[in-house]
Structure 1
């Protein structure tokens, strides 16, 4: 998957303006040319190893496991990657693709800033200009990442319209790309957008699960009983989940942001409460109003406040292979502090949603069962915001 038209079952596709059809087709063709090219694969894997620091380790969180009194909890430490999150995996791939296509500039959006930092880093590495669009609210919340992007030579565009968050940043970046698709590549930061981006970002991210599957079996002699990852657009989750989709013994759970509560309008639980629709050039589950327009969404984690979700996640929900649950802002903050103080690991607020899901599940399981969490990013970017929220 996907099929030749970019669909995962009923979801996906490339619904773009006529002015972009050729540009998107060029991206698809170029990616298909290089994805199995031995020289490209060698360069990519070499950078993963010597630049990113892969493989990222799997860590047994013994003190957290003992504290919860149930299943053993393991962490896939994507927070230890260069730039601090899983985003660097596809950022390097997209930057190399832009270089292969002869593009002079990469345009991208960011929410929490991790994709922005990763993209700015990758563009500096390959010598291509970078422009990142970021909502004004997220700029204020994630100031350290904004500073990093500027130091790396990136132009940061503040988006002040709409909700001033991720959805509006995507709109703004897409419009910038539309103004000059010939010399620019739009580097999408998740498994969303028109085909081929959901496929392409998944392919770059699936190294997470490929590594974790081997590492976990080497550590324990078996596969994990449960996988958990946060889901906004869904790139870190699909990165872990893909390698285990055929393993029927492995239960897979994605954790969405319940925000201030599923009974309020202030959440971003797309797969839990959304319905099929279209957003940003593809079909997926969408939180939408009666007219089919995307609703404003909320999450304490800037990287998760998106009204849509990856088309492959939408398909996997429909066929029942993955269960999607949610965690509130308060549960996220509690998990953030619990992991920090039990294991000395400060997670990103996005990743803390997955930790919150495991904190709820682990006590219900036996001590011979296991949960593998994708700790998708570190919380350096969030510490000032959390200190204000908790009056520390």
Structure 2
């Protein structure tokens, strides 16, 4: 197949018509400073060596590629799990956060700001702050504070300040808005550690580069373990889309079919229209007047009304396909994996599994196919939700 680059071509920060930098004038210098610092750091072997050492010693990379033997037999397809749930802190978020925290320290910033939905990015940022001696302030929607109390306690235990956001839908969208407003007031000292491939340039590109360790590792592991070297399908859940962007980066120039699975009520790539939010242009759920609609998902990490600009670009190119899974399908998939493989995934990750379960044996996912699924996080944080929603017979 023809080569497809994930790096913006032409205007910096653009993926076709998506991306860009739509922020108040007061944030332009801050975004430019981050872009310049990242460009220099990513070209510095010392910086990348320090990050690689932390990812190995502190995070536990490389994460394994686990064959889901019983589930594969049941579905008639070979399912391989990329185990980001086994990282320190329990999700892929730590890969990006350690990179950004090292960058913040390199830039001379003295504290970190973050937004979080499911709480895993907040936990990762609090962890990095504790490790590197940087105070952390995390903005989290009031609804998510209630349904992710476990992670709120973890953040506070690590020394972070958690600020409940009471405006709007009180979820990830509003937490992101509040974090950006706070950044405006503290651009000289604070570093905004964005948790997904969203926001103004350079964040979508930078976060993907920090997360591409997932895809690069998985590609090497598949080459060593599969007769054909490359899986037929590469599947990951998509909210803003960082775990999927990192996974896809390792396979975009292969023959693998890329599938991003969104929450049915947060389907920006599947059902969105072009708009601008949180400093970037992409696909967002909108009403007939062009106003951003509230997203819904039982998974707090997928409760976002849009998708990162790179995903919108890959969709338009036809290189990646985006589909949805319902709340009920995700819960059922989480329970099924727990019982078939002894692995409890985050409900976010279970959306990706839900599509595999639904599509296996159909023309969408023919019998005999090999499927790589990124498990972006573990399900400990979702126990309260699972107690309320899962039907255990």
TM-score interval for Structure 1 and Structure 2 normalised by the shorter chain: over 0.9
C-alpha separation between the residues in 2 aligned to 1:217 and 1:86? 22
Equivalent residues of 1:362, 1:371 under 8 A apart: no
Matching residue within 317, 320, 333 for 2:318: 320
Matching residue within 41, 49, 56 for 1:49: 56
Is 1:227 the equivalent of 2:234?
Answer: yes
TM-aligned CA deviation for residue 211 of structure 1: 0.3
| 1:238 match | 245
- TM-score (norm. length: structure 1): 0.96
C-alpha separation between the residues in 2 aligned to 1:324 and 1:24? 30
Encode CA deviations 1:258-279: one digit per residue, 9 max, x unaligned: 1xxxxxxxx1111111111111
Find runs of 4+ consecutive structure 1 residues off by over 3 angstroms.
365-368
Which SS does the other structure have where 1:54 is aligned? coil
Taking the TM superposition and a 5 Å limit, the aligned residue runs for 1:284-323 are 284-323=282-321
| 1:147 match | 153
Mark the runs of 5 or more structure 1 residues left unpaired by the alignment. 259-266
Encode CA deviations 1:26-78: one digit per residue, 9 max, x unaligned: 1111111101201101100000111100000000001111122x111010000
Is 1:11 the equivalent of 2:9?
Answer: no
Is 1:171 the equivalent of 2:169?
Answer: no
Taking the TM superposition and a 5 Å limit, the aligned residue runs for 1:142-221 are 142-221=148-227
| 1:122 match | 128
C-alpha separation between the residues in 2 aligned to 1:202 and 1:163? 27
TM-aligned CA deviation for residue 129 of structure 1: 0.7
- TM-score (norm. length: structure 2): 0.95
Which SS does the other structure have where 1:363 is aligned? coil
Mark the runs of 5 or more structure 2 residues left unpaired by the alignment. 1-6
C-alpha separation between the residues in 2 aligned to 1:291 and 1:19? 29
C-alpha separation between the residues in 1 aligned to 2:218 and 2:367? 21
RMSD of aligned residue pairs (Cα, Å): 1.0
Which SS does the other structure have where 1:244 is aligned? coil
C-alpha separation between the residues in 2 aligned to 1:120 and 1:337? 29
TM-aligned CA deviation for residue 5 of structure 1: 2.5
| 2:350 match | 352
| 2:372 match | 372
C-alpha separation between the residues in 2 aligned to 1:85 and 1:372? 17
C-alpha separation between the residues in 2 aligned to 1:196 and 1:12? 9
